[in-house]
Amino acid sequence: MGYYEPLQELDEAYLVAPGSTLAEVTEDIASVTENAAPRGWWIVFMGALSLLALFGGTVGYLFYRGVGVWGNSSPTYWAWDITNFVWWVGIGHAGTLISAVLFLFRQKWRTGINRFAEAMTIFAVMCALIFPGIHVGRPWVLQWMFPLPNQMSLWPNFKSPLLWDLFAVGTYFTVSAMFWFVGLIPDLATLRDRSINKWRQRIYGFLALGWRGSNRHWQNYERTYMILAALSTPLVLSVHSVVSFDFATSVIPGWHTTIFPPYFVAGAVFSGFAMVMTLLLVSRTVFKLHRVVLMRHLELMNKIMLLTGMLVGYAYAMEFFVAWYSGNEYERYVFVNRAFGPYAWAYWTMISCNVLSPQVFWFKKLRRNIPVMFVVSIVINIGMWFERFVIIVTSLHRDFLPSAWGMFSPTVIDLTTYLGTMGVFFTLFMLFLRWLPAVAISEVKGTMPQADPHHHDLVPEGAE
Amino acid sequence: MSADKSTDASNDYRIKPGSGWSGAWKKAAAVGVFGFALAGFGFTQDAKRFAFSYLFAFFFFLSLALGALFFVVVQHLTKAGWSVTVRRTAEFFMAGLPAFAVLIIPLIALMAQLFPWLAPHAAAGHGASTHAEIALIREAHAADLHAPQAADSHAPRKAGPSVVARVAARDPEAALEAAKAHEHAKLIEGKKSYLNKPFFLARNAFYIVVWAALAYWFFKNSTDQDRTKSRQATVNAQTWSPLALALFALTLTFASVDWLMSLNPTWFSTIFGVQVFAGSVVSALAVLILVTMSLRDTTLKGAINVEHYHDIGKLLFGFNCFWAYISFSQFFLIWYANIPEELAYFHMRWSENGGTWQGVTAALPILHFAIPFWLLLSRNVKRNAAGLVLGSVLLLVVQVLEMYWNILPNFGPFAPHWLDLACFLGVGGAYLAVVFHRMENFPLVPVGDPRLARALHFENA
Amino acid sequence: MSAASKTEPKKRVALVLAQFETAADVIHAAAKVRDAGYNCWDTHTPFPIHGMDKAMGLPDSRVGWLVLGGALTGLTAGFAMMWWMNGVDYPTVVGGKPPFTTPSMVPVLFELTVLFSSFAAVFGMFGLNKLPRHHHPIFESDRFRSATDDKFFISIEAEDPKFNADKVRSLFEGANAKHVEVLEEEVEA
């Protein structure tokens, strides 16, 4: 598609600050990896490293003592571990949505933020994968999760949603990593060609695979990128759908309901966008990326958060309505218990954070207000964590028979495990910001007027 | 950008007199009248069958019109440039929505034929079709009403075997049926505060008003812009599109609960509204392709080209995959959990009704997903008129089939009836007469839209 | 390296490289090169330019076919794996489902189809583009560093049967090139 001057009367806006040159875009983004890191980076990185150390200690202790150090108990055998797993997988989904779905819909504004979002996906999925790894109790037989026969020649049970999870999240991680790397190749070549010392040139040169901007390459490259986007779109739906199957294939009221797959996907995208927003606002300030990350991008992301927040609200409402409409007393009880039982505080936290807080984005003033969006993005992430907590714990803690009722309370180790994965995530993310181009340089250039050969004059016959 | 191409004055994008489309609305109206006449005769023969056949026709065309409304609203919501030239066609199909305010009347009149929850003994509606069984249910019901008094007597434990137990001794199978029906009656009783006639009517009045208002406003806003060329009109449409989308989601969901889900009032599924939504968008996109395709060499010449078809083709493919995803999720979760009250939906379409629906049930995943998936996957097919038409026709036909499959098993075994066709012609003719009438009176491209130039020069990346 | 520094290596012309200032210039020039009938040539741009495939007269990319192959492989392999493991080699009844049952295979089948398709897309693209290739005579040019920044290039390789350095140079200069240079490569003994 060609370049069009935005029709400002129709609320359209520039995607790159008007008047920017191609070289300025390269400079803005690439110099982040070349200059000394600003103090803000060091502060966050040191904080992240401390949490990473906490993570190491916690997991060591967990392996030494066993999963009893968590608060999981009868009847709440699944609690924070799976809550955190679902939360992290969900956060990853916005990355794929921004890079793949918005790409397919030709939403050019994605170019300002897609690299962040993809990096976030990969690191979030890594954090998620930690939980199935450490919650199994016997991490030394972890290979039993894979389709390998055990000593009794028994194969894994392919009717188990937990096994599908392994395939889904594993595939998701692999495909996202490839998608990310493919997107990085031209930008790594840019860093290679700008490098002033030999080591930078060797390392970036090695990673850039000898990219030389050839149009014969671009042709296959663009097709591959498009196909990966087309594959990632159903993949991202499938991943959170499979995660939702972990719950929904059971017969537990509050877990078994048919809307779970799309509801989980919407929630995932919602929380992921909130996380992208949080990270983006921090990075934009620390690394001064105002030329490529405009208010426009932030505003559009706020609109998507409003939309997905409403979708999640729709799912909450449908669940509640159908629980009543089903006439099933267990179904009805679970929802009454959620809203008015001992975990009502968690339920109403979830509703206020996820359904009410994004409503501020109806107002243009608030949608364009950075402190407001920063706070709301964090509030949404809290709310989405509570959503998973509510689904998991309130459905389990009161079993079918009152004799099997109980309450769940987390331990300090639950808390440090969760905070520890934050350390894993932020350490990786800070390293990414410092050493890789945090905005897709070649893609941003593609949205600029200079990229459209028709923009300045007409193309000769036969070139069209 | 070469501005000279965009202001092609030779085409006013109106239906030319004498072309196949001129006067199409009269033909549609004639078909409608014929259909209604036949259906009216059918009504005198078999009122219940008429009610189900009519509901099938009504809901199919309604879902098509709502799908078109969705398409229009989403184009404004996303400020889409590429689709401006096809948006008007969707607007015509959306503009037929007010017709359903009239078309709904027979359904309202015949509600009692459709909904077991309206029957005087709700229990008789489901799972019990013979008089003997109904008699047993009544007996069981009556006994249950007296049960509390029995409990008040001096020796409650010696109140004797229950009615069901006594019936079971005579006829165990009938007793099981009776117990089931009794359970159903109790369930339906518990839903009275939603499933009752006044509230049902009020809800439907609300849906109809919302749909008619949205269709009227978006259509008028867009057609007025043809004259005024006002950019403000586009801004207004963009401003109101989020609210329109929210109203659309709300009304479509509850209309499908009311008209489709409550046909079997003990069954429930939270994803059902989304499933109906996915199907409605598939129908609308297929119709959009077929209608614009038939006009592309005449009225729409120069306005819609292979690039647009490629994009609508992608949307059709995408939404059909979405349909498959949602339908599979619903089936899969019900199949896996294997809870009888949920399984009833698939039971009715597989083993019940003499197994007559098995063929349709098995054909749906193949015709609605497997074949169109492989067909429309290819870029070349989406860019090829014949291939895209084939895919659209197939999807439109299976959408009709799916609606039939959604509704008619509640009536009985799979046995197509001439009333199905009569009602389909009647409702379809009436709705399309309104749509085609609009098409004849307005340009087929929103000539005042400020993004028109982009759509005219649109090229797929 | 050390051997090369002792005896002056034999060199030959590898390609002619022209630099252009704007996307419009390079696409015009590409159309001219195409019309002049060259085969072994390429454009180098910091981002893909739309219309360039047509301007260069390139056939459609073949990545899609590789992906189709990957998809079918993943689907078949996944089906065979689950059928063998749960249906034949060690059938078990879990959750009241038959040992071999299709609906519960769908999630894994889907994931494996996507996984294999993506492998085919990425590695297929590397194969078609002959990447990684860290050494190429074009990197001898210092100016070429800006091909990943803000300049546009066309190269015509000496391998081309119609190649003639002077003719190529005049073709480029007639097409508004800002700078034209001839690049050499070492000839192996």
Residue A281 has pLDDT above 60, yes or no: yes
As a whole number, the mean pLDDT across chain B is 85
As a whole number, the mean pLDDT across chain A is 87
pLDDT band for B122, please (50, 70, 90 cuts). very low
pLDDT tens-digit map of A206-228: 999 989 888 899 999 999 998 99
- Classify domain A22-448 at the CATH topology level: Formate dehydrogenase/DMSO reductase fold (1.20.1630)
Residue B123 has pLDDT above 80, yes or no: no
Residue C4, in any domain of the structure: no
pLDDT in the model for residue B340: 87
CA separation for the pair B103, A463 (Å, rounded): 55
pLDDT band for A456, please (50, 70, 90 cuts). very low
Q: Residue B37 to residues A122, B41, B110, B229: CA-CA distances in angstroms?
A: 63, 6, 17, 44
- C50 → closest Cβ in B331, B332, B461: B461
- C85 → closest Cβ in A155, A164, A452: A155
Domain boundaries, chain A: 22-448
Same domain? C54 vs C94 = no
Mean pLDDT lowest among A267-281, B43-57, B141-155, C13-27: B141-155
Number of compact structural domains in chain C: 2
Is the bond preceding C132 in cis, omega lying within 30 degrees of 0?
yes
- Percentage of chain A modeled with pLDDT above 70: 94
pLDDT in the model for residue B182: 81
pLDDT tens-digit map of C45-75: 998 888 888 888 888 888 989 999 999 999 9
pLDDT tens-digit map of A59-98: 999 999 988 899 888 888 888 999 999 999 999 888 887 7
Residue B130 has pLDDT above 60, yes or no: no
Same domain? C114 vs C143 = no
In which domain, by residue range, is C50 found? 10-60+133-187
CATH assignment of the domain containing C32: 3.30.70
List residues of chain A with CB under 8 Å from any CB of chain B.
1-2, 4, 7, 9-12, 104-107, 222, 234, 237, 241, 245, 248-251, 256-262, 306-307, 310, 314-315, 318-319, 322, 324-328, 454, 458
pLDDT higher for B119 or B323?
A: B323
This model of the complex carries an ipTM of 0.90
Same domain? C183 vs C152 = yes
pLDDT in the model for residue B70: 96
Residue A16 has pLDDT above 90, yes or no: no
pLDDT in the model for residue A425: 94
* Contact assessment for residue C151 and residue C143, using Cβ atoms and an 8 Å cutoff: yes
User: How many Cα atoms are found within 13 Å in the side-chain-facing hemisphere of A289?
Assistant: 29
Same domain? C84 vs C176 = no
Q: Which residues pair with C154 in a beta bridge?
A: C18, C43
Q: Which residues pair with C41 in a beta bridge?
A: C156
- C90 → closest Cβ in A155, A192, A445: A155
Taking the mean position of all CA atoms in its chain, how far away is CA A222? 24
pLDDT higher for A143 or B50?
A: B50
CA separation for the pair B433, B99 (Å, rounded): 10
Count of other CB atoms within 10 angstroms of residue B18:
8
Nearest chain C Cα to A229, which residue? C118
pLDDT tens-digit map of A398-436: 988 889 898 999 999 999 999 999 999 999 999 998 899
pLDDT band for B331, please (50, 70, 90 cuts). very high
Domain boundary among C98, C128, C158: C128
pLDDT band for C23, please (50, 70, 90 cuts). confident
- Residue in this structure with the two tokens 């990185």, named with its chain if needed: A45
Domain boundary among C128, C152, C174: C128
Residue A304 has pLDDT above 60, yes or no: yes
Count of other CB atoms within 10 angstroms of residue A404:
12
pLDDT band for B150, please (50, 70, 90 cuts). very low
Same domain? C52 vs C142 = yes
pLDDT higher for C145 or B169?
A: C145
pLDDT in the model for residue C1: 45
As a whole number, the mean pLDDT across chain C is 87
pLDDT band for A50, please (50, 70, 90 cuts). very high
Inter-chain CB proximity A256 and B339 less than 8 Å:
yes
pLDDT in the model for residue B137: 58
Q: Per this entry, what is the length of chain C?
A: 189
* Contact assessment for residue B282 and residue B403, using Cβ atoms and an 8 Å cutoff: no
Same domain? C137 vs C119 = no
pTM of the model: 0.88
- Neighbours of C, requiring at least 3 CB pairs below 8 Å, are A, B
Would you call C98 an interface residue with chain B, using a CB distance cutoff of 8 Å?
Answer: no
Inter-chain CB proximity C85 and A238 less than 8 Å:
no
pLDDT in the model for residue B297: 80
pLDDT in the model for residue B125: 43
* Contact assessment for residue C36 and residue C160, using Cβ atoms and an 8 Å cutoff: no
Domain boundaries, chain B: 35-110+195-456, 116-144+156-194
Same domain? C53 vs C139 = yes
Mean pLDDT to the nearest integer, B96-125: 83
pLDDT band for B133, please (50, 70, 90 cuts). low
pLDDT band for B411, please (50, 70, 90 cuts). very high
Mean pLDDT to the nearest integer, A94-103: 81
